[in-house]
């Protein structure tokens, strides 16, 4: 893990020291465990799980990790099982189960979205359609996470014999999946400040304001292109330049219905404003 690539400034430290983002994730995780009463090493020695989770949270800020994970991710159980039945590679099966379990853990605990919208961009046709088609129950989601980590643990024992510590962590995540979801859910609100999903009305107004700004910029560009075409036409009023000027005028008209332009009115004028009307 390239800890030094993502840095943050600790504002709670008077020295304003810059530290690896892993430090922030680990600190937030430990505080969340204390806040929820689900402290480390109570009933099971799970400090190694803290290390795993802090690295996992940091990994989600690394585009390289997300791109690599895409090849192992599947939204539905049947998609996972269909792919697994076509392979006898224990290492591939381990990666598939582990990656899907990790993303489910983060999707539910941090993103608060059991449908794993992370696998398809928010607002995409797939996420919108399938999200309405099927919404898993909370128990089904938790059961799925526990099962994925249990299978990942089983295959890990085959492929990670030289590093049994990883297998131990996956086994603990399977058995304590519900608990770690609660810890991450607390971390989400208290330390990551991730807000709830915007309402439809809020999304509508946000999209409208963005669209209005985009349209304003497009209109400005079209008006500039029209003035450039007019200047070229005034220097050399041949048929080609005339056609380009009319096309430029039509482009402005599509964006500004109040815009009016007539070629015959500018034949004997010195500026395009004398032959057109419209908004600024």
Residues facing 18 on adjacent strands: 9
In this model, does residue 39 exceed pLDDT 90? yes
The domain spanning residue 255 has which CATH number? 1.20.58
Average pLDDT, the chain: 79
Which residues does 221 contact at the CB level (< 8 Å), separation at least 6? none
Whether residues 160 and 206 share a domain: the answer is: no
Number of domains in the chain: 2
From 137, 167, 197, the end of a domain falls on 197
- What long-range pairs does 156-159 form, CB within 8 A, spacing at least 24? 156/94, 156/98, 158/90, 158/94, 159/90, 159/91, 159/94
Whether residues 225 and 129 share a domain: the answer is: no
**Could you read off the pLDDT of 145-157 as tens digits, one per residue?**
999 999 999 999 9
Q: How far apart are CA 101 and CA 52, in angstroms?
A: 13
For residue 258, how many other CB atoms are within 10 A of its CB? 8
Backbone φ/ψ region at 73: left (φ over 0), alpha (ψ -120 to 50), beta: beta
**196 φ/ψ angles, rounded to the nearest 5 degrees:** -70, 165
From 176, 197, 218, the end of a domain falls on 197
Whether residues 189 and 259 share a domain: the answer is: no
Looking at residue 184, what is its pLDDT?
94
Whether residues 147 and 20 share a domain: the answer is: yes
**Could you read off the pLDDT of 180-214 as tens digits, one per residue?**
999 999 998 888 765 555 566 656 665 676 677 77
Whether residues 66 and 180 share a domain: the answer is: yes
In this model, does residue 54 exceed pLDDT 70? yes
In this model, does residue 227 exceed pLDDT 80? yes
Chain length of the chain = 280
Are the C-beta atoms of residues 180 and 105 closer than 8 Å to each other?
yes
Whether residues 26 and 57 share a domain: the answer is: yes
Q: What angle, rounded to 10 degrees, do the helices at 164-175 and 47-59 form?
A: 90
Whether residues 74 and 175 share a domain: the answer is: yes
**Of 130 and 75, which is predicted with more confidence?**
75
Tell me which of 1-15, 30-44, 202-216 is least confident: 1-15
In this model, does residue 65 exceed pLDDT 90? no
From 152, 175, 197, the end of a domain falls on 197
Whether residues 216 and 191 share a domain: the answer is: no
Mean pLDDT of 249-264: 86
């Amino acid at each position: 893990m390239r800890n030094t690539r993502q840095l943050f400034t600790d504002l709670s430290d008077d020295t304003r020291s810059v530290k690896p983002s892993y430090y922030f994730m680990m600190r937030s995780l430990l505080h969340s465990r204390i806040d929820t009463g689900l402290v480390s090493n109570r009933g099971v020695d799970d400090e190694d799980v803290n290390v795993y989770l802090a690295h996992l949270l940091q990994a989600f800020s690394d585009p390289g990790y997300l791109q690599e994970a895409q090849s192992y991710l599947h939204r539905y159980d049947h998609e996972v099982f269909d792919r697994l039945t076509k392979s006898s590679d224990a290492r591939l099966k381990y990666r598939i189960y582990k990656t899907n379990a990790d993303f489910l853990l983060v999707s539910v605990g941090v993103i608060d979205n059991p449908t794993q919208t992370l696998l398809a961009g928010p607002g995409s046709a797939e996420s919108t359609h399938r999200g309405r088609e099927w919404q898993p129950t909370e128990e089904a989601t938790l059961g799925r996470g526990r099962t994925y980590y249990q299978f990942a643990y089983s295959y890990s024992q085959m492929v990670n014999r030289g590093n049994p510590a990883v297998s131990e962590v996956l086994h603990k995540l399977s058995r304590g999946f519900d608990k770690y979801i609660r810890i991450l859910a607390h971390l989400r609100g208290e330390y990551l400040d991730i807000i709830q999903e915007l309402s439809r009305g809020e999304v509508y107004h946000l999209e409208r304001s963005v669209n209005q700004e985009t349209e304003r910029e497009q209109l400005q560009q079209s008006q500039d292109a029209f003035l450039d075409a007019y200047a070229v036409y005034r220097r050399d009023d041949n048929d080609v330049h005339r056609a380009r000027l009319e096309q430029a005028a039509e482009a402005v008209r599509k964006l500004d219905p109040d815009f009016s332009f007539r070629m015959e009115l500018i034949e004997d004028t010195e500026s395009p404003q004398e032959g057109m009307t419209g908004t600024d």
